[in-house]
Amino acid sequence: MCARPAWALLALTLPSVDESWLAAFAAGFCKLARAHNVALVGGDTTSGPLCITVQVLGHAPASQALLRSGGKAGDLLFVSGTPGDAVAGLAIEQGKLHVDNPQHATYLRERFLFPTPRLELGERLRAYASACIDVSDGLLGDAGKLAKASACGVDIDFLSLPVSTPLVATAGDEQARRLALIGGDDYELCFAVPPAALEALQRDLPPDEWGYRRIGRLHAVSGSRVTRAGTVMEFSHAGFDHFGR
């Protein structure tokens, strides 16, 4: 995690040639690639069911890449952005969620359709964090993966979860926080920071400016817990299963 992207490979499988779709896809792909100085250097195009596969390669200073496995018991846990927005945006796209406020609907849809890569934050975290994972399969599940790889357990404070105004207005505070825990496709960063590095982190990367919040800590006993005011809450810890049916 937290490398600087440099090159991309694109494998594109298409059922037919649709020039208008291809033009829109290429424009969106190039806009994001140019924004982060990523060069498309190869790949493949073939016929078949629609499938888009992008492999991104980059670089980080030797021995400074952040792994899931670097955390220690006592490290503090943080997350960037406002998880839960994307799963609400997906529900809007699928017609399963109606949002009366058009600005809120647009915000949530765009959080699903156009996630923001936290590249600059990730690069800077190399100086402070001990471990990091992207939140793509649900915050609770991905935080649990980081903790397990670090041979730790994790406690998450339900009331500390960051949630956006549009999500709270749409789903209510309780459900917004639940979506923040179990929703996916946010592509935010969940990272652990040793207590000794906390002051420097908050001084050099002010949380309000860089958009992250402390949500819990790693501990020595395996397993994931969500607590509210000291009471343990019941949640599924699995997250999205890529090979589930």
Looking up residue 37, the CATH number of its domain turns out to be 3.30.1330.10
Q: For strands 231-233 and 212-219, give the pairing.
A: unpaired
| 78: nearest Cα among 51, 38, 118 | 118
- The overall average pLDDT reported for the chain is 94
- Count of structural domains within the chain: 2
Last residue of a domain, one of 59, 78, 96: 59
The pLDDT confidence band at residue 230, using thresholds 50, 70 and 90, is: confident
Q: Tell me: do 189 and 166 sit in the same domain.
A: yes
CA distances from 100 to 169, 189, 240 (A): 10, 30, 29
pLDDT at residue 241 in the model: 57
- pLDDT above 70 for 179: yes
**Is 139 within the bounds of a domain?**
yes
User: Cα dihedral angle (26, 28, 29, 30), rounded to 10 degrees?
Assistant: 80
- pLDDT above 90 for 182: yes
Tokens 């949630």, residue located: 163
Going along 39-144, which residue ranges are E strands?
Answer: 39-47, 51-59, 76-80, 131-135
Mean pLDDT, residues 178-186? 94
Q: Domain range for residue 88?
A: 68-233
Q: For strands 188-193 and 76-80, give the pairing.
A: antiparallel
Q: How many whole angstroms separate alpha carbon 224 and alpha carbon 25?
A: 39
Q: Tell me: do 50 and 72 sit in the same domain.
A: no
Is 162 within 8 Å of 180 (Cβ atoms)? yes
Going along the chain, which residue ranges are E strands?
Answer: 4-14, 39-47, 51-59, 76-80, 131-135, 153-157, 188-193, 212-219, 223-228, 231-233
The predicted-structure confidence for 71-125, as pLDDT tens digits, reads as follows: 999 999 999 999 999 999 999 999 999 999 999 999 999 999 999 999 999 999 9
Q: Tell me: do 197 and 229 sit in the same domain.
A: yes
Q: Does residue 30 sit in helix, strand or coil? A: helix
pLDDT at residue 244 in the model: 59
The predicted-structure confidence for 30-79, as pLDDT tens digits, reads as follows: 999 999 999 999 999 999 999 999 999 999 999 999 999 999 999 999 99
3-state helix, strand, coil in the chain (%, to 5): 40, 25, 35
Q: Tell me: do 107 and 204 sit in the same domain.
A: yes
The pLDDT confidence band at residue 234, using thresholds 50, 70 and 90, is: confident
pTM of this structure: 0.92
Q: How many whole angstroms separate alpha carbon 114 and alpha carbon 66?
A: 25
- pLDDT above 70 for 239: no
Is 5 within 8 Å of 58 (Cβ atoms)? yes
**Is 244 within the bounds of a domain?**
no
- 125's CB contacts (< 8 A; 6+ apart) are 2, 66, 132, 189, 191, 205
Q: Tell me: do 22 and 143 sit in the same domain.
A: no
